[in-house]
Amino acid sequence: MGITIKLITVLSQTNRDEVREFMPVLGSNIKAVLSYPYTYAIAALIVLSLISIKKLNKRIFGISATVLSLIGFIVLLPILYPIKSGRANFSVIGRTIKCGWQSYNERKQIEVYMSSILPLPHPETVKSRQLADIYLIIGESASRAHLSIYGYPIDTSPVLCKIGEGLIVFDDAIGSSTTTAFNMNRILTFLSDRQEAVKWSESPRLFSLLKKAGYYTAWISNQERAGIWGNPTIALVSDADYIKYVGSISSDDATLMRYDESVLPEVFQMAENGDGPKFIGVHLMGSHIQYRKRYPDSFNIFNADSVIGIKRDFALSRSHAATIAEYDNSILYTDHVVGQILDRIKSSQRPALMIYFSDHGENVYDDNDNFLGRDSKHIEVPFVIYANSNFRKYNRDIYERLIDAAVKPLSTANIGHLICTLTGTEYQYYNAGLDVSSPYYVPAPRYVDDVVWKYEHDY
Ligand SMILES: [Zn+2]
């Protein structure tokens, strides 16, 4: 019946536009239910039993109700078992209660996050030359080691590999945490990798700064708005002029899952929006766990055989090789989505930059045949910047500094400082020592989840 947390949230917030989006779906579901002869048979049976209850004495009613319930339960179990969406189809009431509860909790959580945001500190120190439009694309769970542009033997990033001029590939970027939320807290504020991610509300927000700098700001996400695991993303982007969540707003809403290409129409629409400077943030689902659900069939290119062909110093089971292939397909699909955005800004009349990186990596049986999951070793992420020809023409000095910066170690936590330079924005919180493009950049041991990264090279 399409009972989801998003539906309940939408209904409870009575947002007319979004209700309208759902109504046709609900309507067609109800129409379908009314077309089943079973519906009428069951309705008749219910009416019949209601009448007969009145005529039975309590004892006989109790016994027959118990026996019939048991029979019903036993008959239903084997029917439910093989149906994947059994939960959605059979427990509408249970789902409504569950989704209602989750929606209520999410809203309460968002209220807490929103109440802790502060106005931009020292706005009087903001001055911007608005040098370029910025398309900041934040990926999910993509490990640098799995992209062919970084030397992976399977061709998982054919689009990026073909770009050539204008594309700068950073060799040594890492995330600041193994969790999405803690990375986002630092990426979208001026918190460094050495500051606790939970203190996000004490730091200036990137969106707040760019709005003050005169940018039109937008946030387009295929991820959740907020989560009970300390994910305040909705608050971090709350200053944006335009906010759109294209998929399910909670990771529990499997029925509303969308492929990442759903962000594209929104991004393209924003790209056409007026002549002023734009800062567009995009949050992808990327290579989030359950990799097979992240890409459409047309990107189901690699299989276990493609993966088994790669030399390793340990034997890989066939089923694990198949999982790696799914992960690689999700990387290939992200390459396609990122490529679409890149294509759009290539021809832009305005100087424009696309920055793509992932929040953290993932260990997909990379070191042995039994571990899959996140760990601090696999925190190395792809990090590329594409500068269109107008950026290269008008901001040659910055472009050349970026080329020099590409070999330097960096933490994605410090992206805010780099964006200040790329947009020509001055701000009191800007720190050249943390800006990889600055001649005053100070490479230093990086932190992951509040400790020096175990695999850091020497300084
Ligand atoms: Zn993540």
Task: Clarify whether residues 284 and 382 are in a common domain.
Answer: yes
What is the structure's pLDDT at 253?
Answer: 65
Higher-pLDDT residue of 81, 262: 262
Range of lowest pLDDT (31-45, 263-277, 353-367) = 31-45
DSSP code at position 214: T
What is the structure's pLDDT at 443?
Answer: 94
- Residue 459, domain member (yes or no): no
Q: Name the band, by pLDDT with cuts 50, 70 and 90, for residue 13.
A: low
Distance 141 CA to ligand 1 centre (A): 5
Q: Name the band, by pLDDT with cuts 50, 70 and 90, for residue 100.
A: confident
Model pLDDT for residues 316-344, shown as the tens digit of each residue: 999 999 999 999 999 999 999 999 999 99
Task: Clarify whether residues 195 and 143 are in a common domain.
Answer: yes
Distance 180 CA to ligand 1 centre (A): 4
- Residue 439, domain member (yes or no): yes
Q: Strand 167-169 to strand 383-387: parallel, antiparallel, or no bridges (unpaired)?
A: antiparallel
- Residue 347, domain member (yes or no): yes
**Euclidean distance between the first and the last CA atom of the chain, given in angstroms as a whole number:** 58
pLDDT at 384 over 60: yes
Task: Clarify whether residues 44 and 192 are in a common domain.
Answer: no
Among 62, 80, 114, residue at a domain's last position: 114
Distance 181 CA to ligand 1 centre (A): 7
pLDDT at 27 over 60: yes
Give the span between the Cα atoms of 240 and 175, in whole angstroms: 24
Strands of 60-171, DSSP E: 127-128, 133-139, 167-169
What does pTM read for this prediction?
A: 0.82
Task: Clarify whether residues 159 and 30 are in a common domain.
Answer: no
Distance 450 CA to ligand 1 centre (A): 17
Task: Clarify whether residues 281 and 370 are in a common domain.
Answer: yes
CATH, residue 199: 3.40.720.10
Task: Clarify whether residues 294 and 251 are in a common domain.
Answer: yes
Distance 40 CA to ligand 1 centre (A): 47
Task: Clarify whether residues 58 and 140 are in a common domain.
Answer: no
Distance 370 CA to ligand 1 centre (A): 21
Cite the DSSP H helix spans in 368-448: 389-394, 396-405, 415-423
How would you list the strands of the sheet with 380-381, edge to edge?
380-381, 172-174, 409-411
Task: Clarify whether residues 237 and 266 are in a common domain.
Answer: yes
Distance 439 CA to ligand 1 centre (A): 31
Q: Which two tokens stand for residue 366?
A: 């990379």
Task: Clarify whether residues 98 and 170 are in a common domain.
Answer: no
Distance 428 CA to ligand 1 centre (A): 30
Distance 75 CA to ligand 1 centre (A): 42
Distance 361 CA to ligand 1 centre (A): 8
- Residue 457, domain member (yes or no): no
Range of lowest pLDDT (48-57, 87-96, 443-452) = 87-96
195: Cα within 13 Å, side-chain hemisphere:
15
User: How many other C-beta atoms lie within 10 A of the C-beta of residue 418?
Assistant: 21
Instruction: Of 15-24, 88-97, 208-217, give the range with the top mean pLDDT.
Output: 208-217
Q: Which amino acid is at 70?
A: L
Model pLDDT for residues 232-289, shown as the tens digit of each residue: 898 999 999 999 989 876 666 666 788 999 999 999 999 998 889 999 999 999 999 8
What is the structure's pLDDT at 88?
Answer: 52
Distance 364 CA to ligand 1 centre (A): 14
Distance 358 CA to ligand 1 centre (A): 8
Distance 392 CA to ligand 1 centre (A): 32
Q: Which whole number is the average pLDDT over 429-455?
A: 96
Helices first, then strands: H and E counts in the chain? 16, 16
Distance 188 CA to ligand 1 centre (A): 14
Distance 186 CA to ligand 1 centre (A): 13
What is the structure's pLDDT at 19?
Answer: 63
Model pLDDT for residues 205-245, shown as the tens digit of each residue: 999 999 999 999 999 999 877 665 557 898 999 999 999 98
Q: Which whole number is the average pLDDT over 350-357?
A: 97
Task: Clarify whether residues 80 and 204 are in a common domain.
Answer: no
- Residue 410, domain member (yes or no): yes
Residue 363, strand partner residues? 373
Q: Which two tokens stand for residue 247?
A: 């998929």
Distance 219 CA to ligand 1 centre (A): 17
Q: Strand 172-174 to strand 409-411: parallel, antiparallel, or no bridges (unpaired)?
A: parallel
- Residue 369, domain member (yes or no): yes
Contact (Cβ atoms closer than 8 angstroms) between residue 422 and residue 388: no
Distance 330 CA to ligand 1 centre (A): 14
Among 89, 114, 139, residue at a domain's last position: 114
DSSP assignments along 12-49, one per residue: HHT-HHHHHHHHHHHHHHHHHHHH-HHHHHHHHHHHHH
Buried b (16+ CB within 10 A) or exposed e, 314-353: eebeeebbbbbbbbbbbbbbbbbbbbbbbebbeebebbbb
Q: Which two tokens stand for residue 24?
A: 């046709």
What residue numbers bound the domain in which 320 lies?
A: 124-452
- Residue 119, domain member (yes or no): no
Distance 95 CA to ligand 1 centre (A): 27
Q: Which whole number is the average pLDDT over 82-95?
A: 61
Q: Name the band, by pLDDT with cuts 50, 70 and 90, for residue 1.
A: very low
Distance 184 CA to ligand 1 centre (A): 9
User: How many other C-beta atoms lie within 10 A of the C-beta of residue 451?
Assistant: 9
Model pLDDT for residues 135-186, shown as the tens digit of each residue: 999 999 999 999 999 999 999 999 999 999 999 999 999 999 999 999 999 9
Give the span between the Cα atoms of 12 and 352, in whole angstroms: 40
Total structural domains within the chain: 2
Task: Clarify whether residues 95 and 232 are in a common domain.
Answer: no
Task: Clarify whether residues 317 and 207 are in a common domain.
Answer: yes
Protein residues placing their CB within 5 Å of the ion ligand 1: 140, 180, 359
DSSP code at position 227: B
Say what angle helices 263-271 and 318-346 make with each other, to 10 degrees: 20
Distance 48 CA to ligand 1 centre (A): 54
Contact (Cβ atoms closer than 8 angstroms) between residue 263 and residue 243: no
Among 76, 95, 114, residue at a domain's last position: 114
Q: Strand 447-448 to strand 242-245: parallel, antiparallel, or no bridges (unpaired)?
A: unpaired
3-state helix, strand, coil in the chain (%, to 5): 50, 15, 35
Residue 354, strand partner residues? 135, 386
Q: Which is nearest to 222 in space by CA: 184, 185, 264?
A: 264
- Residue 458, domain member (yes or no): no
Distance 192 CA to ligand 1 centre (A): 18
